[in-house]
Amino acid sequence: MAKKKQPKNSGMRARLMKVFQNKRFLSMLALMGLLTGVFFWTRYFLLNDSFFTITDITINGQNDVSFTGGREKLNDMYLRRNVLSIDLDHATVMIAESFPQLKSVEIRRIMPNTLDVDVMVRRPVAIIGTGNKVMVDREAVVVTPARIPVDIVRITGINFFLNRPRPGEKIKARQVIQALSLLDLLDRKNITGRYDVLEIDVSDRNDLCLEVEGVRVKMGEGDFVRKISRLQEMLEDPGINMKGVEYIDLRFEEPVISPK
């Protein structure tokens, strides 16, 4: 007499029944359920308890305004929200996009109810153009400071009439990059700190010109390190009276000084 075939899954069912009847397994299952419940309850409590509601936003560790419009915007974005609900990476990106005048942004929580924002503001080093002017920092990024620095250097010979760059946009014009490179050398030699540097003229892209102490200095288009060092020597030379000089030409191996 032929044996009756058992269903293929009957053995699986039997094994599963043994597992579910095992007290140790049931205890582990109950513990996992309890821990999951505790986790979600704790999460709900922390994210909804008023104890963690943001009541203060500090900028660079202080309560003063460190960048234009920053205080008001940050209050609108984060005040009265739960401090634990803030995605710090996302918030960093949002603030950086909202304030292009910031060079860097770092956010951290100060428990239980404070959001601290550390920022580095881009500092304008030059103003470009004569009519529709824009200010840029050392990296050629357009900035909009609350005040125009008194001693800011003018970059002339280039204007933005129909295509004015927006704040936060980086200017890639070759003349501007050259002018800022020249300005960086002047700063490193402390020429901008000791002498009156008014203007960098880029109207002729092959012949950049400076105005230092009221004297026009022809720089050409390269070898700025040597030329700036030579200019520094001349400025420090007590035998050269800059008030009697019309212009200085540094495009040649030997500088040319033209008297008034």
Q: What is the pLDDT of residue 225?
A: 93
Reduce the DSSP state of residue 74 to 3 states and report it.
helix
pLDDT-derived band at 20, boundaries 50, 70, 90:
low
Instruction: Please say whether the dihedral angle defined by the alpha carbons of residues 209, 212, 216 and 217, taken in this order, is positive or negative.
Output: negative
Which tokens go with 233? Answer: 């020597």
Q: What is the pLDDT of residue 46?
A: 59
Mean pLDDT of 226-243: 93
Strand ordering across the sheet containing 197-201: 142-143, 134-136, 126-128, 153-156, 197-201, 208-212, 215-220, 245-249, 256-259
Residue ranges of the chain assigned to CATH 3.10.20.310: 50-121
Mean pLDDT of 18-39: 66
191 class by beta-carbon count within 10 Å (0-12 exposed, 13-18 middle, 19+ buried): buried
- Distance, in Å, from the CA atom of 145 to the CA atom of 122, rounded to the nearest integer, reads 9
- Distance, in Å, from the CA atom of 221 to the CA atom of 213, rounded to the nearest integer, reads 21
Looking at residue 260, its amino acid is K
Mean pLDDT of 117-140: 87
- Distance, in Å, from the CA atom of 260 to the CA atom of 244, rounded to the nearest integer, reads 6
Q: What does CATH list as the number for 50-121?
A: 3.10.20.310
Residue ranges of the chain assigned to CATH 3.40.50.11690: 126-259
**Peptide bond before residue 112 is cis, with ω within 30 degrees of 0:** yes
Q: How many CA atoms lie within 13 A of 186 on its CB side?
A: 27
pLDDT by residue (tens digit) across 187-215? 999 999 999 999 999 999 888 999 999 99
CATH number of 126-259: 3.90.1150.10, 3.40.50.11690, 3.30.540.10, 3.40.50.300?
3.40.50.11690
User: DSSP readout, 26-49?
Assistant: HHHHHHHHHHHHHHHHHHHHHHH-
